[in-house]
Structure 1
């Protein structure tokens, strides 16, 4: 058990709300497989996001767009099997909810039934209102995602900071309030000015989790491969790297190759 975790047996939406209410920050990281999810859960992480970032870090795609609903369910199922405490949210992937609330509901229900996840996350505000309401009416917890929404990357044309202009900032604030009114249990804000994120966190009563949104929100999320230094190319300003596993793994593999080639592995005590 980590000394950092709250004394909660099982994290729920209710507990996340209580954490916001008492000013305790919420910790959130991504995971896509059984082994990593087990490590994060035992370390005391509050929320695990089975992110569509799996498209990048697990499948090697340039964007999050290619990953399918079946693939997201596969990753989510692997994660859920390892988790005892954390609240597990799954991204509904691109093309599985936009523009059709019936399809959105089917996608969310498939994720919940087939993986055993605890909630879903969706990108967008007023554009996806009908889908959000429909999924919530089926009793599925929904987390919103505003600011830089990677599923819309070809519309933006860049991964730069969003909502710097007044009009976009106003829309983001109004979308955050809309998502709260619809019944979302929380919102992720990605790559927006710290001051705007702070205002959103103050003006909505539900938890607001930031990634590149400054310190004045209710919690933080990072992609686990980024914060552990497994991915090397991606180093935005908002990323704090807590380990250099790329270096450690490269060194370990190099030592293994050397021992195999030099015939020192396995030795007698490692043989039957």
Structure 2
């Protein structure tokens, strides 16, 4: 098996090969993605909500993300692993951003980190991390870490000002050194405009056809509870199947149908006799000392 490289990823669009990217937050998810043959795995800060139970991505810490990232790294052999740097871990300074990125590379084996946004401060962080020798994936459009400033979790690029800002940010993020860019919740027509001016791969999520696509693993498997984003397509019903399986197990335990003989270990006659004798001796000793 050949491990995916950054060089190979950047060549794929020109060769007409769409890039397949999924999120994963643990070893089993990473193994499933690896066995399915995806090109990239993103350890997204969406894991804050998906597997850690937070209300948003803002509360997750670097240490928590590193636990998830290490598990995913242990489960991947060929996929290119990108790690989100969580909110608060790069905002203070370029130096803080570099220190955070280094932790993800040295402690979790990240191939690249992902930095959201295209404002001047974010571009400065991106340039600093790239200058430190660490590949950076950009993220424009809907940026969940700063969604409040964008008016909430809503599509971007639908007004004149927003569309112009996307063009400016896409080029600025590329020029700052991003190896590829994730674009989220943007009209497909705007994505196509950006593809025509960018030299790096553009990976869409809710942004129509692009050089690649990314979806949250739990969303595409149907594990996520409640309503999902408009751009999510469920390829399975693992969540319902999981609940059904657990409910069936609970029912069999309560009715004593499980465990049946086929799930039990057979006892050797001499071992059983020894256990009975030992139990008798100990019971007699206990009665005599009361």
Q: Over alpha carbons, which structure has the higher Rg? A: 2
> What residue in structure 2 maps to residue 95 of structure 1?
88
Distance, in Å, in 2 between the alignment partners of 1:176 and 1:234 is 30
Deviation for aligned residue 1:99: 4.2
Q: What do the CA deviations read for 1:21-55 (whole angstroms, capped 9, x no partner)? A: 11211111100001110111111011100000011
Distance, in Å, in 2 between the alignment partners of 1:212 and 1:232 is 19
> For 1:208-247, what aligned pairs fall within 5 Å after superposition?
208-215=202-209, 217-247=210-240
Whether the 8 Å contact between 1:76 and 1:90 is mirrored in structure 2 is yes
Whether the 8 Å contact between 1:191 and 1:212 is mirrored in structure 2 is yes
> What residue in structure 1 maps to residue 186 of structure 2?
192
> For 1:97-246, what aligned pairs fall within 5 Å after superposition?
97-127=90-120, 128-215=122-209, 217-246=210-239
Whether the 8 Å contact between 1:226 and 1:234 is mirrored in structure 2 is no
> What residue in structure 1 maps to residue 261 of structure 2?
268
Divergent runs of 4+, >3 A: none
Please give the secondary structure, in 2, of the residue aligned with 1:163: coil
Mark the runs of 5 or more structure 1 residues left unpaired by the alignment.
Answer: 1-7
The 1:76–1:233 alpha-carbon spacing in structure 2 relative to 1, beyond 3 Å, is: same
Q: What do the CA deviations read for 1:204-224 (whole angstroms, capped 9, x no partner)? A: 011100011012x10111111
Q: What do the CA deviations read for 1:94-141 (whole angstroms, capped 9, x no partner)? A: 011124111000000011111011100000113311111110011101
Q: What do the CA deviations read for 1:189-236 (whole angstroms, capped 9, x no partner)? A: 000111111111121011100011012x10111111111111131322
Deviation for aligned residue 1:148: 0.4
**Does residue 217 of structure 2 align to residue 249 of structure 1?**
no
Distance, in Å, in 1 between the alignment partners of 2:228 and 2:36 is 24
The 1:106–1:147 alpha-carbon spacing in structure 2 relative to 1, beyond 3 Å, is: same
Task: Give the TM-score normalised by the residue count of structure 2.
Answer: 0.89
Backbone CA RMSD of aligned residues? 1.1
Please give the secondary structure, in 2, of the residue aligned with 1:81: helix
Task: Give the TM-score normalised by the residue count of structure 1.
Answer: 0.94
Query: Could you tell me which of 73, 84, 88 is aligned with 1:80?
Result: 73
Deviation for aligned residue 1:9: 1.2
Identify the structure with the greater helix proportion.
Answer: 2
Q: What do the CA deviations read for 1:229-253 (whole angstroms, capped 9, x no partner)? A: 1113132221110011111011111
**Which stretch shifts more, 44-53 or 173-182?**
173-182
> For 1:37-76, what aligned pairs fall within 5 Å after superposition?
37-76=30-69
Distance, in Å, in 2 between the alignment partners of 1:191 and 1:34 is 28
Mark the runs of 5 or more structure 2 residues left unpaired by the alignment.
Answer: 266-290
Distance, in Å, in 1 between the alignment partners of 2:262 and 2:166 is 63
**Does residue 38 of structure 2 align to residue 17 of structure 1?**
no
